[in-house]
Amino acid sequence: MKSFDAIVIGGGQAGPFLAARMVEKGMKVALIERKFLGGTCVNAGCMPTKTLVASARAAYVARNSAVYGVNIPGEIAIDMKVVRARAETVTMNARNGLIGWFAGMDGMTVIYGHARFEDPKTVSVNGETLTAPRIFLNVGARPVIPDLPGINDIDYLTSTSIIHLDTLPRHLAVIGGSYIGLEFAQMYRRFGAEVSVIEHGPKLASREDEDISDAIADVLRSEGIDIHTGVSDIAFARSSDGITVATDSARIDASHVLIATGRKPNTDDLGLDAAGVITDKHGYITVDDTLATNVEGIWALGDCNGHGAFTHTSYNDFEIAAANLLDGADRKVSSRILAYALYIDPPLGRVGMTEKQARASGRKIMISTRPMSRVGRANERGETKGFMKVIADAETKKILGAAILGIEGDEVIHGIIDAMNAGTTYPALQWSVPIHPTVSELIPTVLGDLKPV
């Protein structure tokens, strides 16, 4: 049996950085990764997909260049092999960077294999047994495949496998109208495929307020994406030239099907029962406000704990654990203000409460909206789709949440994120003097238009 000061299972965006901090403190750490260092973000999520989004946007801008007085003769062609290779290069550069970083650390042992608990202090991997007083789980999540009629008779894609496509689908059917599905839908439409989105719920991006959801649908429809919501029945069958997707309201002749119906934690084969670690009904590991599980000496970080399915929340889990265990701090998950983005174009930047959540809280609230068509920078760039929305507490004057669906919305939202984390009241932020011409300069204007509801 090999002994360590700590064992980290999973090489995502929390565990490896915590392992590095512990090594800096002179600890002996084992990092066990089943497949690739970097987790979903580096290998199948943020980095490759946003690289693909950038290629798709380049195609879109080129096709619409005449609007800006730039004439490109001939048809805009897409070389999917180059598109794929570019995304793969970005992924490999990041992955190899992590490999090189860890290889240079004395005290760090990287093991590739499938780890399972033998007891609360012991795990087995590749026929070896390892023990440590502290064990950290950062095992991530994977796509959910629903049990739908005919699904096992077709060759479907997931968010992991679609990034390896080097040919253009004739017609891509996207099953699921949430964040991952919508990004791929617009991306492949811009590459030149016909695209249909099929969503069980009554609207796209169901987490958002109805006005945001409607605006997202308008953006996608304006680019020729076929959207079906409120679909109760879906079935698949092979056809002579692809896949038939039959719903209760439509029949779609697709060449490819992307299943984007959510994700589930990679916790079902870790031997958690042997360690006594509790999970909820969905398989997420139950943790307290410091990310500790019900078993002393075991923590769960990142997607597998159900407290955020984003790279930045996973990294923040690392920050919380490191601060508490290594720096004597008392940081809590409940102090985190959730923020995220949807990377369609234009992107959606989101922080805090939705209007629906704010109304349900019983607070006296104020709301302000402003269409991007009334933002100078958006008009100068010729990108006026979407709008800005802010919700505030009428009594405390604190900002409760915001949504910016529009050009650079994923960047502009950080002005609101910073203000909320600093506890700044909206009147104070209203009197800032932003740079012109920017999209961010409209934040004080939007705040000045807040009205009680």
Which 8-state DSSP code applies to residue 409? H
In a domain, 178, yes or no: yes
pLDDT of residue 348: 98
For 342, the 3-state DSSP assignment is strand
The mean pLDDT value for 234-254 works out to 95
Task: Report H helices in 152-271.
Answer: 179-191, 210-222
Which 8-state DSSP code applies to residue 252? E
451, two tokens: 């009205």
266, two tokens: 């990679």
In a domain, 323, yes or no: yes
> Following DSSP, what letter does each residue of 10-73 receive, concatenated?
--SSSHHHHHHHHHHTT--EEEEESS-TTHHHHHTSHHHHHHHHHHHHHHHHHHTGGGGT----
pLDDT of residue 433: 95
Average pLDDT of the chain to the nearest whole number: 97
pLDDT of residue 440: 97
80-103 helix and 15-24 helix, angle to the nearest 10 degrees: 30
Asked if 179 and 310 touch (Cβ cutoff 8 Å), the reply is: no
Asked if 164 is an active-site residue, the reply is no
Same domain, 324 and 416: no
- Per-residue pLDDT band for 137 (boundaries 50, 70, 90) equals very high
Tokens 């512990």 belong to 22
The mean pLDDT value for 419-427 works out to 97
Domain end marker among 335, 350, 368? 335
- Per-residue pLDDT band for 178 (boundaries 50, 70, 90) equals very high
Same domain, 408 and 317: no
Largest CA distance in the chain: 70
Same domain, 326 and 354: no
Ramachandran angles phi, psi of 384, nearest 5°: -110, 15
Gap between the terminal Cα atoms of the chain:
64
19, two tokens: 């392992």
Ramachandran angles phi, psi of 286, nearest 5°: -75, 125
pLDDT of residue 321: 98
Q: What is the CATH number of the domain that holds 431?
A: 3.30.390.30
Burial class (CB in 10 A: 0-12, 13-18, 19+), 347: buried
Convert the pLDDT of each residue in 51-84 to its tens digit: 999 999 999 999 999 999 999 999 999 999 999 9
Same domain, 75 and 186: no
Same domain, 113 and 37: yes
The identity of residue 20, as a single letter, is A
Same domain, 309 and 367: no
* Domains of the chain: total: 3
Same domain, 246 and 344: no
Convert the pLDDT of each residue in 13-54 to its tens digit: 999 999 999 999 999 999 999 999 999 999 999 999 999 999
Ramachandran angles phi, psi of 61, nearest 5°: -65, -40
pLDDT of residue 389: 98
pLDDT of residue 329: 98
pLDDT of residue 13: 94
Asked if 283 and 268 touch (Cβ cutoff 8 Å), the reply is: yes
pLDDT of residue 46: 95
In a domain, 146, yes or no: no
pLDDT of residue 377: 97
Same domain, 360 and 434: yes
What proportion of the chain, given as a percentage, has pLDDT over 90?
Answer: 99
Same domain, 329 and 352: no
Out of 171, 282, 414, 436, which one is annotated catalytic? 436
In a domain, 233, yes or no: yes
Asked if 326 and 412 touch (Cβ cutoff 8 Å), the reply is: no
pLDDT of residue 53: 98
In a domain, 442, yes or no: yes
pLDDT of residue 265: 97
Q: What is the CATH number of the domain that holds 201?
A: 3.50.50.60
Q: Which domain holds residue 200?
A: 151-261
Convert the pLDDT of each residue in 365-418 to its tens digit: 999 999 999 999 999 999 999 999 999 999 999 999 999 999 999 999 999 999
Domain end marker among 335, 365, 387? 335
**Of 254, 272, 316, which is closest to residue 290 (Cα–Cα)?**
316
- Per-residue pLDDT band for 187 (boundaries 50, 70, 90) equals very high
pLDDT of residue 251: 96
CA distances from 210 to 59, 215, 216, 370, 371 (A): 30, 9, 10, 16, 16
Same domain, 237 and 158: yes
In a domain, 112, yes or no: yes
Cα separation, 200 vs 175, whole angstroms = 9
In a domain, 406, yes or no: yes
Domain end marker among 300, 320, 335? 335
Cα separation, 168 vs 44, whole angstroms = 19
Cα separation, 137 vs 7, whole angstroms = 9
- Per-residue pLDDT band for 294 (boundaries 50, 70, 90) equals very high
Same domain, 11 and 119: yes
Bond prior to 437 in cis (omega within 30° of 0) = yes
Ramachandran angles phi, psi of 442, nearest 5°: -85, -10
Same domain, 37 and 122: yes
The mean pLDDT value for 250-278 works out to 97
What proportion of the chain, given as a percentage, has pLDDT over 70?
Answer: 100
In a domain, 227, yes or no: yes
